Amino acid sequence: MSRRQLERGAALRGVVTSDGIAPLDADFPPDGSGPDEDCHILHLDMDAFFASVEQLRHPEARGRPVIVGGTGPRSVVSSADYIARRHGVHSAMPMAQAVRLCPDALVYPPDGAAYRQASEAVMDILRSVTPAVQPLSLDEAFLDVSGARRRLGGPVRIAAMIRERVRREQRLTCSVGVAATRFVAKLGSTHCKPDGLLLVPTTTVHGFLDPLPIGALPGVGDKTERTLVRLGLRTVGALARTDPELLRMELGEKAGTRLAALARGEDPSPVVAETPDKSVGAEETFSVDVDDPALVDRELLRLSEKVAHRLRASGQVGRTVSVKLRRADFSTITRAKTLSETTDVGREISAVARALYAASGLRGTPLRLVGVRVEGVAPVELSHRQLALGEEDTGWRDVERVMDRVKARFGPGAIQSAVLAKSDENDV
């Protein structure tokens, strides 16, 4: 099936053969003894996820180009459906440029809560198949279905069942790659988008990989690609035939060894079931550069409260607070401080964040972006926080938990810190 067919929305359901990609017309034997016998890794990737969720929420958007992103002067595209993509729109593109390319598009602001809800529903479907699910983001995940084969059949049957359930239960489409390794499965899902299923049997992995550009390999960024092109290596096949020692000399021991293995289709990394986030953060890009320290301090407080709310919602606490400060020329610095005790309290996080900003040497410097992050995150039940001798409990933890309950019942704008409320009144 050609790329043009894919762009028109035709779904590819195929298997890689020695002659290319053949249609996957018939189901394989239910005992898993077909070409997918050793292909127990699936990579599922939702199609234009944010835009697809918006189309479900807004009936008027069906059949129309849809772009998700902010509308400010510095906003960028978060997601675009396949109609908008045919006009050249893609994620991370400045929104102003996207609207010029596709003036008929409907533009919706991102709704993180709606996307998380849809993502959780899809992940629940995956976990009903196997506990070995490794989410990579809201819209993609790896699965190891080796333990589900006796119950549900071969990997291709399982992949087809998952796609059907996502379509029927969530009214969304996804693409699934099936292979013996994570790396090849991910390439498979990319190759069959949108709304496709592609099996890459072990016997045809080399034929599938060899013609691909070296940029298709994970870990090959612009700098690495320039190095490889300088060596005359432009395809994965050429890379696979190169002496690994040369790659180690040019790219370093670790990167050279890994790229040589990937080019040969070797990827021993297992599917690792979901683990808690190691950090929780939030950041804000100002519509115009801000050089007023009071405004920056207020934004750091707002971001700190958002991070603390996310920590409490996930039952986690953290020990290290860091700030990100980006100047108008895009140069960025980060500063961090590790606390003696873990925390999930916005006031405590904010106090550290503002102190780091004060010590950064950038007070009064125009800033384009600020961010707050808490690292060293662990489940709250593993925390052994206790008051030091003579230290008084400020009560802010209890106050912020009450605020959480109010927001959950009446909405995120129902209650906020007095400092932030006062600033909003002054802005009116």
Cβ atoms of 234 and 280 within 8 Å: the answer is no
Catalytic residue among 7, 54, 120, 140: 140
3-state DSSP of 331-359 = CEEEEEEEEEEEECCHHHHHHHHHHHHHC
- Provide the CA 258 distance to its chain's centre, in angstroms: 23
Interatomic CA distance for residues 265 and 179, integer angstroms: 10
Using only C-alpha atoms, the chain has a radius of gyration, in whole angstroms, of 25
**Strands ordered across the beta sheet of 13-17:** 20-23, 13-17, 197-199, 174-179, 41-46, 140-144, 133-137
Cβ atoms of 359 and 335 within 8 Å: the answer is yes
45 is in an annotated binding site: yes
Q: What angle do CA 241, 35, 220 make, to 5 degrees?
A: 35
Phi/psi class of residue 74: alpha, beta or left (left: φ > 0; alpha: ψ in -120 to 50)? alpha
Question: Is 341 labeled as catalytic in the residue annotation?
Answer: no
Q: What angle do CA 74, 80, 373 make, to 5 degrees?
A: 50
Contacts of 243 (CB under 8 A, 6+ apart): none
139 is in an annotated binding site: yes
293-313 and 418-427 helices, crossing angle to 10°: 130
Q: Which residues are annotated as part of the binding site for Mg(2+)?
A: 45, 139
Q: Which residues form the catalytic set?
A: 140
